[in-house]
Amino acid sequence: MRRNHLVILIVLAALILISWSGYHNHLRRSLESQQRAASHVVLTRDGEGGSPPAGEATGTPTDSGSDYRPGALEHKAAPAFTLVDLNGRKVSLSDYRGKAVLVNFWATWCGPCQVEIPWFIQLHNQYASQGFEILGVSNDTLDDDDQTRLEQEKQEVSTYAAKMKMNYPVLLHGDTLAAAYGNFDSLPTSFFIDRKGTVVAETNGLHPRDEVEADIKKALATGGQ
């Protein structure tokens, strides 16, 4: 009887030992897995080392998505800004007070932008006499830390603008305005601003030419002379 108790005790002890060992093995693997995941984050943060253009977004599976809400700026004052154009001249939105302005965010790598730029050129020609202006704000990434590279990148934007025959000011560093203009996450994105500086319409993505023209007319018609 006493021997049976002893055997049962030994078996129980062995089972407890096995369970404890398995549990600790599980903990160790979980910890290793977490450390590995953490090392991936280290790899993709901060922008000192070589490679994709500085300022470029780095995605991870935990990204939560943009907080962009289309139309959030409508009926509000257009956020003020000053950027430089392709010639290095400072251009402010306030320079255009009293005019209807289309602020169009675009990039050289954006196919839909390429479709609407010719429309803008035609519409600019058509409505400029009524006080309509366009500011084409490039969202191409520019590397301010590397002068040679910066000049090359500016030249690429300039070459593209010339190729497209853009007849309105092309401004650089548009990505610095993303937060002020609602954190839009895709291009093209356009804001139609009336003569008093109020956003009267906003579009994200390519919209039909007729709709663009209607928004221009709306900007021209509101806000007084």
Partner 1 sequence: MIGRARTRRFLTTVGAGRWRLVPLLYSAMLLLPASHVLSGGPLFAQTIPSVSRSGSKTSVQFLYPEQISVPAGKPFSTDLHFRVDPGLHINSHSPHEKSLIPTNLLVVEEPGLKVQSVDFPVGAEYSFAFSPAEKLSIYSDQFVLRAHLTAERGEHLLQGVLRYQACDSNSCYPPKTIPVAIDVIAK
Binding residues vs partner 1 (CB under 8 A): 36, 39-40, 42-61, 63-67, 107-115, 139, 141, 143, 146, 148-149, 152-153, 156, 160, 175, 178, 183, 185-188, 204-206
Q: Which is nearer to partner 1, 143 or 213 (CB)?
A: 143
Least separation, in Å, of the C-beta of 110 and partner 1? 4
85 or 143, CB closer to partner 1? 143
| Residue 63 to residues 9, 66, 100, 183, Cα–Cα distance (Å) | 52, 9, 37, 15
Give the integer Cα–Cα distance in Å for 77 and 89.
24
- Could you give the 3-state DSSP secondary structure of residue 186? coil
User: For helices 111-127 and 209-221, what crossing angle results, to 10°?
Assistant: 40
| Between 133 and 156, CB nearer to partner 1 | 156
Q: Are 42 and 158 in contact (CB under 8 A)?
A: no
Q: Which one, 37 or 77, has the nearer CB to partner 1? A: 37
Give the H/E segment covering residue 23: helix 2-44
The minimum distance between CB 215 and partner 1, in angstroms, equals 16
* CB of 102 vs partner 1, minimal distance in Å: 17
